[in-house]
Amino acid sequence: MRPFREALISLVRRPVLAALSVTSIGLSLFILGLFGLTAHNISKALAAVEEKVEIVAYLRDEIDEAQLRLVRSEIGAFPEVESVEYVSKTEALYNASRELAEFSDVFPDVEVNPLPASLEVRLLPGQRDPHTVGTVAARISGYEFIDEVRFGREWVNRIHTLRRIAGGTALIVGGSFALVAMLLVGTTVRMSIHARSTEIAIMENVGATAGFIQRPFLAEGLISGLAGGLLALALTFAAYRLLDRAVMAVLWLPDLWIVAGILGGGVLGMLSAGRSVRRELKGLYAI
């Protein structure tokens, strides 16, 4: 408990320095939080679009009941496949008449239904990338009673590219801000070490171990980081409320992201404190 007691005393005794440290972490994580909010909402929107990615396998007219059951169950057993829905010729005509309102008057009069029956194949989440979709479509088209397979290759490619851009940007922007936060925390911890140089010299003098001297500074970094994480959470929540009310409906971050963000702040604070402590106190007992 001593490191935390000492760290709290140090933070309370130097409120300006402490505020600078917490604010720098808080603002850095706030930027990450905003980005997280955007990324989460983009991701959800993409997932909704991706939900619609499906493979439609048109069946030959001559397929019988037994063959249909067989082909349906075999495709349904593919590890990438979530569900297989059968759409009969009649259903296809009904759907077409609903979706194409301008022809709705024509359809009831046709003597022969020109639309084929089909299987609508939905893939499991995580299996909707262009490569997997293409592979599954190729496998389905190999069946004898399948006339044609369509899956909107363009759409799948675009969605996947968007996802990759979002992920890459999150990594680069997040990493950059984390680095800035680390540098700022490191600087404030170094200032804290300088402010306590007399104390450190006395500790060395009376036989304190290096760990004993360093632990309060690590605790200080951890506390600053956690406080910065909470500040960032408050700011991100305020931004979310503002966006949600004034601009558009926005989804709030998942709980796991929030916990990870606050803990991440703590780890960030401790890592940068550790780096500064090692650098500043490298002469400790170095004879």
Contacting positions for another protein (CB under 8 A): 2, 13, 198-199, 201-210, 212, 285-287
**Least Å distance between CB 281 and another protein?**
12
Nearer to another protein by Cβ, of 47 and 201: the residue is: 201
**Least Å distance between CB 287 and another protein?**
4
Nearer to another protein by Cβ, of 103 and 285: the residue is: 285
Nearer to another protein by Cβ, of 143 and 217: the residue is: 217
Cα(42)–Cα(30) distance, integer angstroms? 18
**Least Å distance between CB 131 and another protein?**
55
Task: Of 126, 150, 51, 66, give the one whose Cα is nearest residue 74.
Answer: 66
**Least Å distance between CB 21 and another protein?**
20
Task: Of 58, 1, 7, give the one whose Cα is nearest residue 221.
Answer: 7
Nearer to another protein by Cβ, of 8 and 49: the residue is: 8
Contact 122, 50 (CB under 8 A): no
Contact 122, 137 (CB under 8 A): no
**Radius of gyration of the chain from its Cα atoms, rounded to whole angstroms:** 30
**Least Å distance between CB 269 and another protein?**
24
**Least Å distance between CB 267 and another protein?**
27
Write out the E strands in 140-243. 146-150
Nearer to another protein by Cβ, of 114 and 207: the residue is: 207
Count of other CB atoms within 10 angstroms of residue 132: 15
207-210-212 Cα angle (round to 5)? 80
Count of other CB atoms within 10 angstroms of residue 251: 13
Six token digits for residue 265: 């702040």
